[in-house]
Amino acid sequence: METRVTKLLGIEKPIIQGGMAWVAESHLAAAVSEAGGFGLIGAANAPAEVVRNYIREAKELTDRPFGVNIMLLSPFADEIAQVVVEEGVAAVTTGAGNPEKYMARWKEADIKVIPVVASVALAKRMERCGADAVVAEGTESGGHIGQATTMTLVPQVVDAVSIPVIAAGGIADGRGFAAAMMLGAEAVQMGTRFCVSDECVIHENYKECILKAKDIDSEVTGRSHGHPVRGLRNRMTREYLKLEAEGASFEDLEKLTLGGLKKAVVDGDTDHGSVLAGQIAGMVTKRQSCKEIVDEIMEQAERLLKLK
């Protein structure tokens, strides 16, 4: 399936893997790119040299293009913005902020720039600054989220900009893919489904939580301090939401989530850690390789879209 996004990124299939913090490392990114999609390394809060090593590792694992997601709240964002130039990555996506100050440098280095946006206003601004595409990410997503749903955000962003739009949030199969295309998207970005892929190196307990999750098992913590984050309900989110409802301070709430993602992803402590996942976790029920995931979604979507 060819779209402006497949041409932009030099890929066969318009499926991008989300640059998930602590989850999206070199093996996952390389496996998705090898499957014909576009893999991303999630820089999250990692130091620049750790990200550089991930990039070099991914280069060893695949000759296909892959990218890096830069989480703009990271204290290392400035350094990582330079590392991607030095390492010549194919594309950069950004999250949780406005990447404007880096755009000229990335464009000069011929890096494709694809900011993740949660509003029409930021999408338009990114287009004006020279973005090659945007990911319109709905509130169904896991992790740090905006307010609009994928169903409402994607067509409004599509109408507002001329650059290609990639839909994210609540997409995990061929039906979601086809629906996103109907809304005007030219690719999808998925996170939660790739978390349970064979190549994803996260702790088994984390994968089990996603596989067992039902439709309404995610919660949003942090709304009161302006950084809403979606993850699966557990002991930590229950405690967090209780304290948040009682008006606890940002500092007290932070104590509950500090290091929480590492706790869940690396140590497998899914009671006290942050098990970030999207609302679609309820539909993610099987373990497969990245190739099986990508092929199954494309097959189903092409049938639905009557391209086959």
> Interface with ligand TUI includes 200 (CB under 6 A)?
no
**Least distance to ligand TUI, CB of residue 175, Å:** 23
Closest approach of Cβ 125 to ligand TUI, in Å? Answer: 8
Work out which of 37, 39, 143, 170 binds ligand TUI, going by CB under 6 A. 143
CB of 290 to ligand TUI, least distance (A): 20
Residue type, 210: I
By the 10 Å C-beta count (0-12 exposed, 13-18 middle, 19+ buried), 65 is classed as: middle
24-32, 58-66, 142-150, 297-305 -> range binding ligand TUI (CB under 6 A): 142-150
Single out the residue of 146, 164, 174, 278 in contact with ligand TUI (rule: CB under 6 A): 146
**Could you give the CA distance from residue 217 to residue 213 in angstroms, rounded to a whole number?**
6
- Our finding on whether 140 is near ligand TUI (CB under 6 A) is no
Contacts of 25 (CB under 8 A, 6+ apart): 41, 42, 54, 57, 201
Q: Tell whether residue 145 is a contact of ligand TUI (CB under 6 A).
A: yes
Helices (H), 149-234: 150-160, 174-182, 192-195, 204-212
User: Which is closer to ligand TUI, CB of 1 or CB of 220?
Assistant: 220
Planar angle of CA 182, 120, 43, nearest 5 degrees: 90
Half-sphere exposure of 206 (CA within 13 A, CB side): 29
Which C-beta is closer to ligand TUI: that of 61 or that of 92?
92
- Of 264 and 298, the one with the shorter C-beta distance to ligand TUI is 264
Residue owning tokens 């338009």: 124
Here's the x/- map for ligand TUI, 32-51, by CB under 6 A: it reads as: ------------x-------
Say whether residue 122 binds ligand TUI (CB under 6 A). Answer: yes
- Judge contact between 63 and 92, C-beta under 8 A: no
Q: Does 116 bind ligand TUI (CB under 6 A)?
A: yes
Residues 6+ apart with CB under 8 A from 181: 301, 305
Is residue 96 a contact point for ligand TUI (CB under 6 A)?
yes
Query: Cβ-closest residue to ligand TUI?
Result: 143
Sequence-distant contacts of 101-106: CB under 8 A, at least 24 apart: 103/129, 103/130, 103/131, 104/130, 105/81, 106/81
Q: Which is nearer to ligand TUI, 97 or 184 (CB)?
A: 97
Footprint on this chain of ligand TUI (rule: CB under 6 A): 21, 44, 71, 73, 95-98, 116-118, 122, 137, 143-146, 227, 229
